Amino acid sequence: MSNNPKRYHPSWLLFEYVSFLKNAFFFILFLFILRGDVMTGWILWAKIIFVLFAGWTIIHILLKWFFHTYQINNNSIALREGVFVKNHRVVPFERIQNHQTNTNFLHRLFKLTSLTLETGTSDSESSIKFSVITHDEARMILKKIEEQDAIAEVDTEEVLEKPKRTVYFRSTKRDTIKAALTSFSFLAIFPLLSAAYFQVNDFFDLEETTLSAFEYFKAHIGLLALLFIVAMLLSVVIGYIQTVVKYGNYVISADDERIYIEKGVWNTSTFSIQKDKVQAIKIEQPLIKRLLNMVEIKLISAGGLGEEKLETNALYPFMAKHEAYALVNTLLPAYHIEEEMKRLPKKVLFLKLLTPYYGTLIVGGVLFFFQREWLWVTGVVFVLAILSRILDYLFTSYLRHGEFIQTRKGGFSNETLLTRRARIEEIEVQHSWIQRKFDVASLKFSNRAKPVFVSELAYLPKEDVAAFYVWYGERK
């Protein structure tokens, strides 16, 4: 069974045009509304160039849509694109590492969605993105991919049972309130305001207006306080809405083959990865989450993860630690997170503290030459450096059990990584002169991810490092 080549859904054009308008919004506002009546000098030129550019873009988008086709075959997807330079590529389904969909407000309006298929390659063409696609079409493509996985897995079995999908986590209103508080999203209004301020300031000179506004508020301090309270209330509401949009309706489910993560209200996104394509598990604990005993667990995958801000690969980031660990153990029985890990030998603390303080030296040197009255800052930097080294020593730990290696690093915020021997791409062991005096060594290993994920652990007992090297040499 092979489908004919298809073009993208016609509303792709609409989406492209809307996004073009969005990007050009301030140019249009400035050139044709605020300076609409000016027809001289550089403004005239800017208008001409803009009109030419816009005309070209409108035609180009149309041509792109016309020439861009995709074709779903039995076990691959073929893409043809390019207006002048033709480009034809075929991506076998088995190369697809993970996939995600994202439905924003505009998609919802037209009952459409977007779909991204990520392959594991490192070049720029590593993903296939359908920025507009009907739900049925997306479902059809995903079904094909998932069937392909199933066939590859159970080659001999005659009957392909539809794997049962179980829901393991569903966020409640309480979770969302907790999330809104811990993510400090109630402060979200400030970055939003400052971004808007700078964007506007690029086009109009706000500096002077701002100054006179300051003068005004100085005279009316009560008004300022009132305004501040209103702004805070507004911020809390906006923060809560933002959290709901991003983390509301969070559902984590899985069947035998895959893990599915769905989230968001209005702007929904889904992420799905085959269980054995998980390269590693990363557990992050920033300071605030450590105090609240929460963790954030991410599934490292060879394919890119699209837009960073969506963080599609994270299990619910505001889950209590024991809950999250239990969830990982159920979702990925092949991985088991251990709490008790091996710490570094005591002498390493001295070694760490003895290493030259280059940062402090540079700060000291620069201040000495240029700003001698600020020389005391060097002292602060020095104390912070010592503190972070001590914390780093206290938190660094590691454990190798069976096929797994688990490492933890960090001071104020820490990060634990768990991966399997077969998922480590290469290792490097480093042994410096000073490390030889202390009978320690460093080890470094890489996991496939985008960008490459390199874990480095310094100052482990040399016997453990040697054992690690031999252990890796015995893989397969």
Contacts with other proteins, residue ranges (CB under 8 A): 120, 122, 276, 369-370, 422, 425-433, 436, 439, 441, 446-448, 452, 454, 462-463, 465-466, 469-470, 472-473, 475-476
**Residue 300 vs residues 273, 333, 350: alpha-carbon distances, Å:** 10, 16, 34
Assigned token pair, 155 = 């080659």
**Smallest distance from other proteins to CB 365, Å:** 10
**Smallest distance from other proteins to CB 463, Å:** 7
Nearer to other proteins, 409 or 444 (CB): 444
Nearer to other proteins, 250 or 445 (CB): 445
* Sequence-ordered alpha helix ranges (H) in 183-320: 189-203, 207-219, 221-247, 287-291
Nearer to other proteins, 59 or 152 (CB): 152
**Smallest distance from other proteins to CB 388, Å:** 23
**Smallest distance from other proteins to CB 398, Å:** 17
Nearer to other proteins, 84 or 369 (CB): 369
**Residue 267 vs residues 105, 172, 244, 270: alpha-carbon distances, Å:** 6, 18, 10, 10
**Smallest distance from other proteins to CB 370, Å:** 8
- Angstrom distance (rounded) from CA 220 to CA 240: 31
- Single out the residue of 463, 348, 453, 451 nearest to residue 400, CA to CA: 463
**Smallest distance from other proteins to CB 446, Å:** 4
Nearer to other proteins, 411 or 461 (CB): 461
Strand partners, 115: 101, 130
- Angstrom distance (rounded) from CA 196 to CA 257: 45
**Smallest distance from other proteins to CB 462, Å:** 6
What length is written for the chain? 476
**Smallest distance from other proteins to CB 150, Å:** 16
Assigned token pair, 59 = 């035609």
Nearer to other proteins, 105 or 370 (CB): 370
Show Cβ contacts of residue 475 under 8 Å, excluding neighbours closer than 6 positions: 421, 422
**Smallest distance from other proteins to CB 121, Å:** 9
Nearer to other proteins, 380 or 454 (CB): 454
Nearer to other proteins, 67 or 404 (CB): 404
**Smallest distance from other proteins to CB 467, Å:** 9
Q: Do 251 and 167 form a contact (C-beta atoms < 8 A)?
A: yes
Residue 119 φ/ψ, nearest 5 degrees: -100, 170
Strand partners, 89: 79
Nearer to other proteins, 323 or 428 (CB): 428
- Angstrom distance (rounded) from CA 284 to CA 78: 38
Strand partners, 456: 444
Nearer to other proteins, 104 or 442 (CB): 442
CA atoms within 13 A on the CB side of 386: 7
Strand pairing report for 112-119 and 404-410 = unpaired
- Angstrom distance (rounded) from CA 132 to CA 165: 27
DSSP 8-state symbol, 314: B
Strand partners, 103: 268
- Single out the residue of 327, 155, 18 nearest to residue 314, CA to CA: 327
